[in-house]
Structure 1
Amino acid sequence: MNELKLGDVTVTRVEEMHGPIMPTEAFFPSMPDEAWQRHESALTPDHLGAGMVHVAMQTWVLRSEGRTILIDTGVGNDKSRPAVEAWDHLGLDYLGALANAGVHPADVDLVVNTHLHVDHVGWNTRLAGDDWVPTFPNATYLMPRADFLFWDPANNDDLAGGVNENVFEDSVAPVRAAGQVQLWEGSHTIDANLRLEAAPGHTPGSSVLKLSSGGDRALFAGDLIHTPLQVMEAGHNSCFCEDPAAAIATRRELLGWAADRNALVLPAHLSGHGALEVQRHGDAFAIKQWAPFSRL
C-alpha cells in the first residue's frame, strides 16, 4: 500500500530510488558506533546494512481541497552532479512512477521544496533540448526565501565541489525565470489542512509541513531526520547540517510536537515503511509504530 487518508487529505508515496548511500561514520560523524549496534534490530535491513545507511528519494503527493501537491522532487534526470557519482546524469522513470500514482505533470498545482538541497529539487525541472524547463508547467513552486538566498551562487562562493554545485542553476533558477516560484518565510498557510513552518538548522531555510485535518495530524518533516536512529538519538546530525546546534534544537522540538499529538512523521528519506509515529521516552524519543505503507 502506498496511499493513506489523513482526515480530508490523501497522501501517496512515490519513489524515485532507494538503497545504500553512505557509511554510518561519514553520514553521521558524531553518532557513536554503540548507538548503531544498540538499535540495530530496529534499523536493519531497511535503514542499515553492512555499515551503510540506506535511504530513499521520494515524493509525498497530497490531494487536498481539490489540488495536487508534491512535497520535494528528488534528484532528477540528466543533471551534472560531480560531487555524487551515483546521482550524475541519471535516467530514472520518476515521471512514470508519478503517472502510476495518477499524477501527470500538468495536473500538479503546487510543488513544495522543504529546502533547496540537491535531492529535494531535482525534478523541479527537466531537460528540453539544451534548456532546463519546469517539469510541472501549471504549478506554483513554494520555496523558503532563506534557502533561495543562501544557495544562490551570487550570494555563496562555497558551492564548487559540494553536493549543491550546479543545483541552483539547473533546478531553481529556471523555475524562477518562468515566473512559477513563490518565496515565503516564517510560515505559509496552503489551505485549511496544510501549513508550512520554518524549521532551520539543516539549512537556513529548512521547513516542515504540518497537516491538521479532522482528528488526524501529520508532520512532513523534510530532512529533520535521515534515519530512524535520530528519533532515539536526537542529539546527532547528518554531515550536511549547516547549523548543527539549531538542527538539534529543531529536531527535538518537532519530534516533541509529533509525539504530543500522535502525529504521523513523514521524512523525505526513510526507506522501509517510510513514515512512523514517535513517543516520548523519558527525555528522549522512541518509535511508537510504523506507517502502513508497503516497504521499499
Structure 2
Amino acid sequence: MTNSTATAPQQLGPAPTWTVGDLTVHRIDETGLPPATGPWLLPDATPDIVAREDWLRPDFADAEHVVRVDSHSFALETHGLRVLIDTGIGNDKPRANPAWNDLHTDYLDRLAAAGFTPDTVDLVILTHLHTDHVGWNTRRHADTWVPTFPRARYVTSRIEREFWAGYAMDEPRRQMFRDSVLPVEDAGLLDLVDVPGTGIEVAPGVRLLPTPGHTPGHLAVEVTSGGDKALVTGDCVHHPVQFARPGIGSCVDIDPALAETTRRRLLASLADTGTLVLGTHFPPPTAGRVTARGDAYRLDPVPPVTAPRG
C-alpha cells in the first residue's frame, strides 16, 4: 500500500461521540494512516480535482490538496446490546503493508475508555473481510490467536465469506484469514447473514444494508433511534471527495463499476434526508450530512458532541 510509517492518532481523551436519537455512537481510533495513503487509495482524486472542491479543506484535504484518510471503529449500545462496527488492523500481526505491520497500539484501552471492554461486547459487525477491518477480531495469546470478544457474535455477509472461500488469495491475504478470521470461525462465533436488498436488522435499530462493489458482500450499517438515522459507510465510500465525484473509485475495489453504481445509489438515497453519515475512513470530523449539489453532492461536517482532548 505505502512504505510510509503510520502516525499516532490525535485522540488523547474521551472518544468523539455523536447522538442518534437515544443512542450514542463512539468513534474508536486505532492508528493514523500515512499521508501517502490517500493518493494510493484514490488515485483519481488528484490535487487538481480536490482543489476544485474547496469545501474539502481544511478537514478532508490538506493545503496541497491531498486527501486525508483515517481508520477507526464505531461502537454503540442499543437496548442493552453492545455493538462494535469493524475492528481495524490489530496488534502484533504480520502484514505486507509496513504501516500496518506488527502494530502495538492502545486500541483496546480506547475501546474500554468508551465503556466497551472486550468481554462486554455482544455483537461485532464486519462490513467486509479486508485486513484493516478485521484485525482486532483476534489477539495473540501465547502462540495462538484467540477471539478478542469472546462473548460476541461476529456477523458478516454470507456472500462476502463465500466469495473469499473461492478466491485465489495471495500469501498476505491468507495470513490475514489465518490470524483474524479463521480463529473466530473455529470458535463458532462467526455468523453469516443473508442480506436482502432492503437490508436486515441484527440488533434493535441496527440494520445491515447491501452495498456491493468494493467487495461482493460489502455492507453498510444503518442506525436508527427516535426518528434520527445514521449510516456507517464501511468502504462503499472511502472519502468525502467521492460525494462530489462519485465516479472516483478505490484502487482496491473488486468490481469498480458496481462500486460506483452502489455509491451513486447510496448518495442519492441520503441526500437532503438529514441522515448522519459516519465514514469509516473519513478523517476528523468524520461525520456529516449529505446535500445535493447539482448532479453530485457534498458532505456538510457535523462535529462530535464529545470531542477529544489533546
Scaled by the length of structure 1, the TM-score of the pair is: 0.91
Q: Which residue of 1 aligns with 2:167?
A: 156
Partners of 2:214 and 2:236 within 8 A in 1 = yes
Which of 35, 40, 43 is 2:57 aligned to? 43
Deviates more, 1:183-192 or 1:70-79: 183-192
Q: Which residue of 1 aligns with 2:68?
A: 54
Which of 93, 108, 131 is 1:95 aligned to? 108
Structure 1 Cα separation of the partners of residues 27 and 75 of structure 2: 6
CA gap 1:71/1:49 in 2 versus in 1, 3 angstroms: farther
Displacement of 1:31 in angstroms is 3.5
Q: Which residue of 2 aligns with 1:235?
A: 247
1:22 aligned onto 2:36: yes
Structure 1 Cα separation of the partners of residues 202 and 120 of structure 2: 17
Displacement of 1:34 in angstroms is 2.1
Structure 1 Cα separation of the partners of residues 37 and 114 of structure 2: 32
For these two proteins, the number of residue pairs brought into alignment is 291
Q: Which residue of 2 aligns with 1:168?
A: 177
Report which of the two has the higher share of strand: 1
Displacement of 1:129 in angstroms is 0.6
Structure 2 Cα separation of the partners of residues 100 and 81 of structure 1: 27
**Percent identity, aligned pairs only?**
39
Letter in 2 for 1:270: F
Correspondence list, 1:125-204, <5 A: 125-152=138-165, 155-160=166-171, 164-186=173-195, 187-204=199-216
Unaligned runs of 5+ in 2: 1-14
Structure 2 Cα separation of the partners of residues 51 and 23 of structure 1: 14
Unaligned runs of 5+ in 1: none
1:181-217 residue CA offsets vs partner (Å, 9 max, x unmatched): 1001223312331110111001111101112222201
Structure 2 Cα separation of the partners of residues 33 and 5 of structure 1: 34
Q: Which residue of 1 aligns with 2:24?
A: 10
Structure 2 Cα separation of the partners of residues 68 and 192 of structure 1: 11
CA gap 1:196/1:131 in 2 versus in 1, 3 angstroms: same
Displacement of 1:59 in angstroms is 1.0
3-state SS of the aligned residue for 2:208?
A: strand
Scaled by the length of structure 2, the TM-score of the pair is: 0.87
Letter in 2 for 1:42: L
Q: Which residue of 1 aligns with 2:223?
A: 211
Q: Which residue of 1 aligns with 2:94?
A: 80
What RMSD in Å do the two structures reach over aligned CA positions? 2.0
CA gap 1:41/1:10 in 2 versus in 1, 3 angstroms: closer
Displacement of 1:51 in angstroms is 6.5
Letter in 1 for 2:118: P
Displacement of 1:290 in angstroms is 2.5
Partners of 1:16 and 1:56 within 8 A in 2 = no
Structure 2 Cα separation of the partners of residues 7 and 133 of structure 1: 35
